[in-house]
Chain A
Amino acid sequence: MSAQAQPNSFRTGPDERGHFGQFGGRFVAETLMPNILELEKAYEEARNDPAFHADMASYSTHYIGRPSPLYFAERMTEHLGGAKIYFKREELNHTGAHKVNNVLGQILLARRMGKKRIIAETGAGQHGVATATLCARFGLDCVVYMGAVDVERQKPNVFRMNMLGAKVVPVQSGTKTLKDAMNEALRDWVTNVSDTFYCIGTVAGPHPYPAMVRDFQCVIGNETREQMMQAEGRLPDSLVACIGGGSNAIGLFHPFLDDKDIEIYGVEAAGHGLDKLHAASLSGGRPGVLHGNRTYLLMDHDGQIQDAHSISAGLDYPGIGPEHAWLHEMGRVTYISATDEEALEAFQLCSRLEGILPALEPSHALAKVMELAPQKPKDHLMVVNISGRGDKDLFQIAEHLGNQIV
């Protein structure tokens, strides 16, 4: 644990100015501030309105398909020979990932606020697909910004968004990946601020996004608590999730943060290796300010943002949500990383042993489960968040494994 004083609860943040310790905040152009303050107020009201929660619950059940199962991965457990491994099956959600939990919340909020035009940024395309889906469902205009590089490597998702009636804008600026998609979405928002709702896909951005997105994703951890009590009569001993911005991870972790004995592991993308190109902002970055918040970032001596690299488009971001940066400095969550190669190996193992094709993102978490589980006793209960399914990645994986999909 770090030298900083441990708070009584790790679940009370952020403060009223959106700070988790030194992280978070609201670093945006003045044009956006009135809108962000309006959003904060609208969210505060929705949060305290039982009708909003009833709406959320109803669509969660009947549209998304919640609760997602907590599945005992028996063959993986046998194979690894240690901890008893459970999968939280977020890949079974409608649209194929956890992203939809958050999008449902934000779109219901946008409707309350009377906004008719929705914009979003997307990396892997999962957040874009989820946003396009709910916009179709509620008849809202939808524009999704996506780095040109990601448009190329996530073609199936681009096609899905098009089918859902969304406009996908390939972003040609900068590194043409997720960070540039976020820049472009912010530029759109600055330009169309009065009628547009910006639906952010992870626990980053200016306050209140990190807290709001976290709240919407906490359904993952809340369900896990109940389901584990039912399955095993007690809480899990450890939690593992991958981290791009960190929304699937904080969704699983947050409801357990004050259970001090539970080990929590966040897995960043180590790409080609931590000494080479990677996307591990906690392991390889420093505190800085980007995209509306202070957090750990990959950057050079001058504060210029560096290219991130991961085989997984959803983890390929040079930052991380501010709450994770804080949990890292407080020592409450242990942040580790997995390389592209390790993720590919875990993908194959999971597919063969469990009949589940995980997305490349949670394959990073599985890679670390392969490392951690054998070190634990057989009565250790480990939950890994399978944040999305691998269908979108099949072309990429085939290419890496030297196969061609015809």
Chain B
Amino acid sequence: MTKRIEARFEQCRAEGRAALVTYVMAGDPDPETSLAILKSLPKAGADIVEFGLPFTDPMADGPAIQAAGLRALKMGQDTVKTLDLIRRFRAEDQDTPVILMGYFNPIFVYGVDRFLVDAREAGVDGLIVVDLPPEEDDELCLPALKAGLAFIRLATPTTDDKRLPTVLSNTAGFVYYVSITGITGAATPDFGKVATAVERIKRHTPLPVVVGFGVKSGAHAAAVAEGADGVVVGSALIDALKGTLDGQDRATAGSVEAVTKLVKELSEGVRSVAKRAAA
């Protein structure tokens, strides 16, 4: 529910820093390792966790995330099992917001109403569905809001001032600013431009603005944290995990730690920047 997201941003604001949002793929490279990674994220310094719903054809994602999804699917991951992992995470952690991120088709096929009930019951707080622009709000965004789940919208460099109100109209929880025109895991953004864009979005909404795409290191995270309310990191964590898999894409002894190590670095990056607002 939105409450957990609000509380978390409130807490970060009180600490005078930006939030660290981490993305990993559900079921990658297998369900148990994936759950272990999910559980390790808050402990390593993640404030909000995004869990990827695997999809065969993630057309706005790059090779790292597509491969992660295909690894998970090969091991039998599906929407039911993904919600189950979140249920098991929630049994131990009542506070960390969990956002599901993916594409619409698996949700549509699951059935929107049933999905919203099950996701809420499992402890999901918000949804990011990449291929549902405001023009398709009837499909999931409006039902999700009614069901008490935040529908987090992406704003991009192509979203001009005229379009921004449309994009922001039904968004809740936070606004996810995509730092580049491109796919995940591709270019590193121009951090100066990102700061200007965040200021522009903030003129249109009281919601926190978090920035993702292209953030790979603690230094990047610190640069983004200067102007944004949060930083999202995904492909870099997936790459870190992938680097530890064996020849058959199986987890090894160092798999979970490779992810937590990078999360710690990112968390230090975010925490190294004291926010102007709090100063």
Contact = CB atoms under 8 A, between A and B. Distances in A.
A60 B166 CA distance: 41
A30 B110 contact: no
Contacts of B132: 27
A173 B66 contact: yes
Given A25-B136, A31-B178, A174 B159 contact: no
A27 B104 contact: yes
B56 interface: yes
Interface in A160-207: 173-174, 179-180, 182-183, 186-187, 190-194
A30 B167 CA distance: 9
Interface of B: 54-60, 62-63, 66, 70, 73, 78-80, 103-110, 130-136, 153-160, 163, 167, 178, 181-183, 186
Nearest to A186: B59
B159 A289 contact: no
A29 interface: yes
Nearest to B187: A191
B133 A303 contact: no
Contacts of B60: 29, 31, 186-187, 190
B23 to A, nearest CB: 16
B56 A305 contact: yes
Given A183-B59, A303-B79, 19 more contacts: A27-B104, A29-B60, A29-B156, A31-B178, A34-B159, A182-B59, A187-B62, A190-B181, A190-B182, A193-B181, A288-B105, A289-B105, A290-B57, A291-B59, A294-B108, A302-B110, A303-B108, A304-B106, A305-B56
Contacts of A278: none
Given A31-B181, A187-B60, A26 B136 contact: yes
A348 interface: no
A191 B180 CA distance: 8
Nearest 10 Cβ contacts at the A-B interface: A303-B109, A303-B106, A302-B78, A191-B182, A29-B60, A303-B105, A31-B156, A186-B59, A27-B131, A305-B56
B130 A29 contact: yes
7 contacts: A25-B136, A31-B156, A187-B62, A187-B183, A191-B182, A303-B79, A304-B54
A129 interface: no
A183 B158 contact: no
A153 to B, nearest CB: 21
Interface in A35-59: 35
A187 B55 contact: no
A29 B106 CA distance: 16
Nearest to B77: A302
Nearest to B133: A33
A191 B179 CA distance: 12
Given A173-B63, A190-B183, A30 B133 contact: yes
Given A26-B135, A191-B186, A289-B104, A34 B57 contact: no
A62 interface: no
Nearest to B183: A187
Contacts of B182: 31, 190-191
A29 B59 contact: yes
A66 B54 CA distance: 47
B156 A302 contact: no
Nearest to A182: B59
Most buried by B among A25, A27, A305: A27
Contacts of A291: 57, 59
A28 interface: yes
A34 B163 contact: yes
Contacts of B104: 27, 289
Contacts of A288: 105, 108-109
B57 A179 contact: yes
A30 B136 contact: no
A17 B138 CA distance: 12
A250 interface: no
Nearest to B158: A34
B56 A191 contact: no
B136 A27 contact: yes
Nearest to A307: B56
Most buried by A among B63, B105, B130, B136: B105
Interface string A6-26: 000000000001000000011
B178 to A, nearest CB: 7
A26 B133 CA distance: 8
Contact of A304 (B73, B154, B183): B73
Contacts of A192: 181
A118 interface: no
Contacts of A305: 56-57, 105
A315 to B, nearest CB: 19
Contacts of A26: 133, 135-136
Interface string A266-310: 000000000000000000001011111010010101111100000
Contacts of A31: 60, 154, 156-158, 178, 181-182
A25 B132 CA distance: 10
B181 A191 contact: yes
B130 A303 contact: no
A351 to B, nearest CB: 37
A290 B105 contact: yes
A297 to B, nearest CB: 8
Nearest to A207: B135
Contact of B57 (A35, A174, A194, A286): A174
A31 B158 CA distance: 6
B220 to A, nearest CB: 19
A401 to B, nearest CB: 34
